[in-house]
Amino acid sequence: MAGSFGAGPVPDSADVVVIGGGVVGCAIARALSRYELSVLVIERSPDVATGTSKANSGILHAGFDAEPGTWKARLNVQGARLYAELSEGLGIPRKATGSLVVAKDAAQMETVADLRHRGIDNGVPGLEIWSREQVLAHEPNISPEVAGALWAPTGAIVCPFLATVGFAENAIRNSVRIVTECAVTGLDVADRQIVAVNTTRGRVATRFVVNAAGLHSGEIARLAGDDSFTIKPRRGEYILFDRSVGKLVNTVLFPTPDKVSKGILVSPTVHGNVFIGPDATEIDDPEDKETTAGGLAGIIAGARRIMPTLPLGTAITEFAGLRAAAGKDFVIGPSPVARGLVHAAGIQSPGLTSAPAIGEVMVEVLQDVGLRLRQKASFVPVNPAKPRFHEMDRATQAELIAADPLFGRVICRCETITEAEIVAAILSPCGARTVDGVKRRVRAGAGRCQGGFCGPRVTAILARELGIPVTSVRKDSADSWLFMSRADLEAGEGVHA
């Protein structure tokens, strides 16, 4: 029996409630969907992947920089391996680019050597120290001042949006329910045991809750009287360049790291763009995603230390993402206060890489605290393949158009995205409900014009397929209305769903 996705009432009960619909929460839900359980995911936004998972570098780290013995070290390496196994079947775009940690002098080369030894301790395969000549041969546009680098062949890049959607869709195919626009208002605890989750859409009786609420995971813990950790938001700003400069860099380029950050990266994306960033700024507001002149200037200066000639005229957008820092390591394990409450919190970098491994570990943690597991004979491990029109040859495109004329209507010119792909993104098990939801799934609006041409057409398609008026279509968040009705405009009122 398939699950469900979207806004609506929560069920009266569930075996496990997962709070948070980011990449970690969805990966946990998929891992749990292997078993005969009723699993509910609660997400406060209209879609999955709207928090940290949305503004993410998309890098699958090899695992050489985490302190040996930590959750980060273990889960990073395991997660990188799992992505290599799972991505194709789940429809997650992944490219094995490898990565380089670039050193500029002898002192940094010593740090690079230390990273190699650490990576070996963590079980990272294939690590090599490259000479200046090897680095320049692989990356001809890099700074000529390079002294050498650490080469990690298992480094890769992935689409973080489609990673989240891939895990979520597969979970739904295996009976998981994801209820969106649903905020947690309380956790009921009796005799130190979780007994229910209270939400804005009803009360769910349960004995097991997974706290994967990202930036808000500390708040969720405190609802059960658990103040064992605190989340500190850390903002990172990025600049994204047009696909016309995709050949600028071949692999993920890291500077030699410091104690706070991996530094300003220069990296390709799986879609052929290039980005620089992020920086790392400690902030107080978990909703503060502003970009700043100082932050962007710092990113440019940092990136130029690796890549002196940056095509700044081809930048198409700047954005900021937030990471949920809780100390030096992830917070993984049972609450010390409330039985049945388990945490997957403080999941900053390498959280994206670690997500599928966190899913596997959380199944073990839940079993340790009393969840009974029975394998599901009907588990479906893959998602149906989705056509990517712009990647096909002309003959295959013609066959698609003959079968479905909507493939012949290009809605997004920048990315060559057809109406058929947009409709499929809306009607899929984890279907888009907003304009940005369509963008995250099929990239309509992700090109150079940033939706200037296709945005109104995507809005009209959403309204048609969802059976709602255009004035009810939102950009991304719960209140991000794009249009007002004439009656509301004349009355001077906002639009309400």
240 and 317 in contact (C-beta within 8 Å)? Answer: yes
Q: What is the DSSP string of 163-220?
A: HHHHHHHHHHHTT-EEEES--EEEEEEETTEEEEEEETTEEEE-S-EEE--GGGHHHH
Helices (H) and strands (E) in the chain, counts: 13, 24
Q: Cα–Cα distance between 200 and 348 in angstroms, integer?
A: 28
Token pair belonging to 96: 């094995």
Following CA atoms 42, 47, 48, 50 in sequence, which dihedral angle do they give, to the nearest 10 degrees? -110
Q: 278 preceded by cis ω (within 30°)?
A: yes
Strands (E), 368-432: 410-412, 417-418
Look up residue 290 and give its amino acid.
E
Q: Are strands 59-60 and 156-158 parallel, antiparallel or unpaired?
A: antiparallel
- In sequence order, what are the residues at sequence separation of 6 or more whose Cβ sits closer than 8 angstroms to the Cβ of residue 494? 481, 484, 488
Please choose, from the candidates 328, 337, 327, 352, the residue with its C-alpha nearest in 3D space to the C-alpha of residue 25: 352
d(CA 87, CA 374): 25
The separation between CA 22 and the C-alpha centre of its own chain, rounded to angstroms, equals: 6
Measured in residues, the chain has a length of: 497
SS3 397: helix
How far apart CA 349 and CA 326 sit, in angstroms, is: 11
Q: Is the peptide bond before 350 cis (omega within 30 degrees of 0)?
A: yes
Residue 142 corresponds to which amino acid?
I
| CA 223/CA 185 separation, integer angstroms | 8
Just list the catalytic residues: 61
- Dihedral in degrees, nearest 10, Cα atoms 295, 350, 475, 204: -130
Rounded CA separation 497/472 (Å): 6
What Rg do the C-alpha atoms of the chain give, in angstroms?
Answer: 23
The H or E element spanning position 71 is: helix 71-90
Note whether 233 and 288 are within 8 A (CB).
yes
